[in-house]
Structure 1
Amino acid sequence: MINKAGLALAVLSALVTSFGAQALEPLRVAADPVPHAQILAYIQKIDPQLNLKVIEIPNGVNSNELLVHGDVDANYFQHLPYLQSQEQALGEKLAVAATVHIEPLGIYSHRHKSFADVPVKGTVAVPNNVTNLSRALYLLQDNGLIKLKPGFNDPAADQATPKDIAENPKQLKILEIESPQIPRSLDDVDLAVINGNYALDAGLVPAKDALGLEKAEHNPYANILVTTPKLEHDPRIAQLAKDLTSPEVAKYITDNFAGSVIPVAGGKP
């Protein structure tokens, strides 16, 4: 018969063994190739004890579905408004582990050097997903190209669609296109509103090439590290969150992306 002390020791030994086994398992993180996977690769260099398995996600694969189905332990590619729309669509609640950086949305053109050159009835390619479509419309408004109806004041809370455009002096035609495909449309449209990661992936430098660029200050679209509620307090997630919001990673982002990716101070959302 095992006495109480022996039983407690056995339970403690089992817990230690379980924790050790978990610690040895790689943390599987789904990420867009640019800049997310690049930032994670840097973390692998500065924190080799954190066993990361970075899974670069091709266009068309939903990283939140992978997370919900247990195919990955975390993902790093999205902002909070997009996550909230995904939680509603998937019927699942996920957890934000860290707020890391901002990729300013930009307006680009291969045809024009300024907004004044854009012709009447010109074409504008915008993302077709709900949150980034709204984000694009606010950016077009900020640059004087359209005006939204009264009541659309908060980009994070008041999501706009083309039906919410009140004034369109150049009668611009809004074309909704899948975000990853928009850089390929630059030769075919007058303006294209492109997410920062897809702009970088296409060889564009948002801070230099964009005719109009989102401001980083008070920007609600910071990119986040997301996991499941079950793994929210996993020590590997905690360590990755600490690394992602560290001064070393902030410096790496600042030094390597020239204002096209901007680190967020403060870490936790």
Structure 2
Amino acid sequence: MKKLLSFLILSLLVVVLAACGTAEEKTTENNASTNEDTTNTENTTSENTEPVTLTVGASFGIHELVLEQAKPILAEEGIELVIEGYQDYVMPNQDLDSGELDANYFQHIPYLEDEIAQKGYDFVNAGGIHVEPIGIYSQKYKSLDELPDGATIIISNSVTDQGRILSLLEVEGLIKLKDGIEKTTATTDDIVENPKNIVIDNGSNPEMLVTYYEEGEGDAVVINSNFAIDAGINPIEDSIAIEGSESKYVNVIAVRSEDKDNPAIQKLVEVLRSKQVQDFIVNEWSGAVVPVSE
């Protein structure tokens, strides 16, 4: 009887231990599964919050500084802005076309349109940001009225700059262009009246114009505001005439056509047009650079 009782107790103990083992295994499996699910969730969350990288080419100076203001704002939106600086007007479009850049910010609308027409780039204007009024400068005279008969005005050799400059000279009453022509593409051949017999020297690279002004070359020099500001020249105070805010030469964000609806690009334009960035432009350059909101 005692042997039978001992055998029953031993059997019951084995069953209990086996059940505990099974429970522990299930608990371990469940914990492992839970940990795995948590890890997967964390990984997914990490992947979902991974910032988007946007590489934008910009000319040194104004464009680069404006983008720097947008950088922390975009970071809050999950967009990491990488700014690539350029010293010329050729490479930014070449690098955008090749895919090295997601966008660029250095050119005005007529220049962009000319580049597309001449080089076949499949680019679009994603949005205008600011205008850099072009100005006339002189070391010899304090106003355009003082320019003598036969005065020489040195201007850029850029085709897209020349129509703009000639339009400014017409607005200031120095010349008159043919009626009905497209002013943005006007050339010296389109001048029909020149009462002061102004000599227009259009053989200079845009980046050399500041040097000619500082050295007193010619009677007046027409300089883009970005070059003037980079050289420490104040377009508002130092020019003897300056383009108005109604200028058509708005500097834009350019992108490949396939990226025109890219949310990151749209957010970039939105931030650059924000009050915070526009206030920076106004305060930094005191009207020498004019922000646009559309």
Alignment TM-score, normalising by the size of structure 1: 0.85
Q: Name the residue aligned to 1:132.
A: 161
User: CA offsets per residue over residues 63-101 of structure 1, 9 Å max, x none?
Assistant: 212211222111101111111100011112212111111
Amino acid aligned to 1:34: G
Partners in 2 of 1:21 and 1:180 — Cα distance?
A: 45
Amino acid aligned to 2:169: L
- 1:23–1:166 distance in 2 versus 1, CA, 3 Å: farther
- 1:180–1:21 distance in 2 versus 1, CA, 3 Å: farther
Summarize the alignment of residues 250-269 of structure 1 with structure 2, pairs less than 5 Å apart: 250-265=278-293, 267=294
Q: Is 1:146 matched up with 2:175? A: yes
Correspondence for 1:86 among 115, 120, 126 = 115
- Structure 1 residue 212: deviation in Å? 1.0
State whether residues 74 and 81 of structure 2, in contact with CA within 8 Å, keep that contact through their aligned partners in structure 1: no
Q: Is 1:57 matched up with 2:95? A: no
Amino acid aligned to 2:286: A
Q: Secondary structure at the match of 2:248?
A: coil
State whether residues 170 and 177 of structure 2, in contact with CA within 8 Å, keep that contact through their aligned partners in structure 1: yes
Partners in 1 of 2:111 and 2:89 — Cα distance?
A: 15
Partners in 2 of 1:209 and 1:62 — Cα distance?
A: 31
Partners in 2 of 1:231 and 1:32 — Cα distance?
A: 21
State whether residues 67 and 227 of structure 1, in contact with CA within 8 Å, keep that contact through their aligned partners in structure 2: yes
Q: CA RMSD in A?
A: 2.2
Q: Secondary structure at the match of 1:51?
A: strand
Q: Name the residue aligned to 1:8.
A: none
Moved runs in structure 1, 4+ residues, more than 3 A? 20-25
State whether residues 148 and 166 of structure 1, in contact with CA within 8 Å, keep that contact through their aligned partners in structure 2: yes
Q: Secondary structure at the match of 2:129?
A: strand
If asked which structure has higher relative contact order (CA below 8 Å, sep 6+), I would say: 1
Q: Is 1:46 matched up with 2:73? A: yes
User: CA offsets per residue over residues 4-28 of structure 1, 9 Å max, x none?
Assistant: xxxxxxxxxxxxx9xx699645311
- 1:23–1:123 distance in 2 versus 1, CA, 3 Å: farther
- Number of residue pairs aligned between Structure 1 and Structure 2: 246
Correspondence for 1:169 among 174, 181, 195 = 195
Partners in 2 of 1:60 and 1:109 — Cα distance?
A: 26
Give percent identity, aligned residues only: 34
Correspondence for 2:56 among 29, 38, 45 = 29
- Structure 1 residue 47: deviation in Å? 3.2
- Structure 1 residue 168: deviation in Å? 1.4
Alignment TM-score, normalising by the size of structure 2: 0.78
Partners in 2 of 1:81 and 1:201 — Cα distance?
A: 22
State whether residues 98 and 245 of structure 1, in contact with CA within 8 Å, keep that contact through their aligned partners in structure 2: no
User: CA offsets per residue over residues 182-229 of structure 1, 9 Å max, x none?
Assistant: 111111111111111111112111122111111113x21111111111
Q: Is 1:232 matched up with 2:260? A: yes
Q: Is 1:246 matched up with 2:246? A: no
Q: Secondary structure at the match of 1:28?
A: strand
Amino acid aligned to 2:260: E
Q: Name the residue aligned to 2:12.
A: none
User: CA offsets per residue over residues 127-185 of structure 1, 9 Å max, x none?
Assistant: 21112111000101111111112223x534xx210111111122222112111111111
Q: Secondary structure at the match of 2:56?
A: strand
Structure 1 or 2, whichever has the larger Rg, is 2
- Structure 1 residue 230: deviation in Å? 1.9
Question: Which structure features the higher share of helix residues?
Answer: 2
Where do 5+ consecutive residues of structure 2 fail to align? 1-43
Q: Secondary structure at the match of 1:39?
A: helix
State whether residues 30 and 76 of structure 1, in contact with CA within 8 Å, keep that contact through their aligned partners in structure 2: yes
Where do 5+ consecutive residues of structure 1 fail to align? 1-16
- Structure 1 residue 48: deviation in Å? 2.7
Q: Name the residue aligned to 1:185.
A: 212
Partners in 2 of 1:259 and 1:155 — Cα distance?
A: 24
